[in-house]
Chain A
Amino acid sequence: MENTKTDILLISISQELIDFVLSVLDNEGYCVHIASSMRDALSAIDSNPVGLILCGTELEDISGEQFLSYLKKDPRRESIPFIFLLSAESQKELSPKRAIQLGAENFIFFPAEGSVIISCIMDLLKPPQKSQNPTSSSIGNDSKDLQANIIRPGLTQSEQKYITERRTEKRERFDVPIPIEISRDTKNWIHGFILNRGKSSAMIETSLRRRYGDDIYVREPKDETGIVVTGSVIHVLLGDESKQIGFGVVFRKNNNVLWHSFSERLMNKTKEQPIAAIRRDFFPIAAEVSRDGIFWIDAQITGCDLLSASIKTSILAKPQDKMILKFERHSIKNIVDGKIKKVELEQNEFLSKIELDFAEDEGWFQLYNHFAVIAGPESSEEEKCENIQKKPQPNEIMIKSAEDLNIKKSDSSSSIRKGPPLKKPESQNKRFYLSLIGRKMDNYEVVSFINAGGMGGVFKGWDTALERDVALKVISWELSSQEEFVKMFLKEARLVSKLNHPNIAQIYYIGNSNGIMYYAMEFIHGHTLADSLKNNTNFKILQIINYLKTLCSALDFVWKNDIIHRDIKPANIMVTGSDELKLVDFGVAKLDKKDKMQKENKIVGSPLYLSPEAIRNQEIDNRSDIYSLGATFYHLLAGTPPFYDNSCSNILYKQLNDPVPPLKQKAPQVPGYLCNIIEKMMAKSCEERFQNYQEIIDCLNSSVC
Chain B
Amino acid sequence: MAKVLLNDCSPDASQILTDMLKDNAEVVVEPFSEQREITEFNLVILYSESGDDQNILRKIKNLHFRTKFRNIPIILLKAKSELFSDQPYFNFGVSEFMALDEPQPIFNQILQGYLNPGRQPLERELIYLTPFIESTKNVLSKMALMEPEFKGVYFKNSLRILGDVSGVIGLSGPTEGTVIITFLWKLAQRVVANIMTVKENEINAEMIHDGVGEIINMISGSAKKSLSAASYDFQLSIPTVIVGWGHELGHPDNATIAVLTFDVGDQAFVLHVSLTQK
Interface residues of A (CB under 8 A from B): 288, 291-292, 294-298, 313-316, 348, 350-352, 425, 428-429, 431-432, 434-441, 445-450, 460, 462, 477-478, 480-481, 513-516
Contacts of B105 in A (CB 8 A): 477-478, 480-481
By size class, the interface of chain B is: 35 or more
Contacts of A291 in B (CB 8 A): 240
Contacts of A437 in B (CB 8 A): 155-157
| Residues A435 and B170 in contact, CB atoms below 8 Å apart | no
Distance (Å) between the CB of B129 and the closest chain A CB? Answer: 14
A439 nearest in chain B by CB position: B116
A445 nearest in chain B by CB position: B119
Which residues of B in the span 151-196 have a Cβ within 8 Å of any Cβ on A?
154-158, 164, 168, 170
Q: How far is the CA of A434 from the CA of B164 in the complex (A)?
A: 24
Is B130 in the interface zone, CB < 8 Å from A?
no
| Residues A436 and B255 in contact, CB atoms below 8 Å apart | no
| Residues A438 and B110 in contact, CB atoms below 8 Å apart | no
Q: Pick the 8 closest A-B CB pairs, nearest first.
A: A314-B244, A438-B155, A435-B113, A481-B105, A445-B119, A439-B116, A437-B157, A514-B112
Which residues of B in the span 69-93 have a Cβ within 8 Å of any Cβ on A?
71, 73
Distance (Å) between the CB of A699 and the closest chain B CB? Answer: 40
B81 nearest in chain A by CB position: A424
Is B120 in the interface zone, CB < 8 Å from A?
yes
Contacts of B109 in A (CB 8 A): 432, 477, 480, 515-516
A440 and B118 in contact, given A291-B240, A294-B170, A316-B242 (Cβ under 8 angstroms): yes
| Residues B119 and A297 in contact, CB atoms below 8 Å apart | no
Contacts of A435 in B (CB 8 A): 73, 95-96, 110, 113-114
B169 nearest in chain A by CB position: A295
Binary contact readout B218-244 vs A (1 if CB under 8 angstroms, 0 otherwise): 000000000000000000011011111
Which of A316, A438, A514 lies in contact with B118, CB distance below 8 A?
Answer: A438
Is B108 in the interface zone, CB < 8 Å from A?
yes
| Residues A477 and B106 in contact, CB atoms below 8 Å apart | yes
Contacts of A316 in B (CB 8 A): 205, 209, 241-243
Q: How far is the CA of A44 from the CA of B164 in the complex (A)?
A: 53
Distance (Å) between the CB of B75 and the closest chain A CB? Answer: 10
Contacts of A313 in B (CB 8 A): 244
Is B245 in the interface zone, CB < 8 Å from A?
yes
Which of A429, A439, A440, A448 lies in contact with B255, CB distance below 8 A?
Answer: A448
Q: How far is the CA of A460 from the CA of B106 in the complex (A)?
A: 22
Contacts of A514 in B (CB 8 A): 24, 112-113, 115-116
| Residues B96 and A350 in contact, CB atoms below 8 Å apart | no
Q: How far is the CA of A440 from the CA of B243 in the complex (A)?
A: 33
| Residues B157 and A434 in contact, CB atoms below 8 Å apart | yes
Distance (Å) between the CB of B24 and the closest chain A CB? Answer: 6
Q: Which of B28-36, B139-147, B246-254, B262-270 contacts A (4 or more CB under 8 A)?
A: B246-254
Known: A435-B113, A515-B109. 12 other contacts (CB 8 A): A297-B240, A297-B247, A314-B243, A316-B205, A425-B106, A438-B154, A438-B155, A439-B114, A439-B118, A447-B155, A449-B157, A514-B113
Contacts of A429 in B (CB 8 A): 106
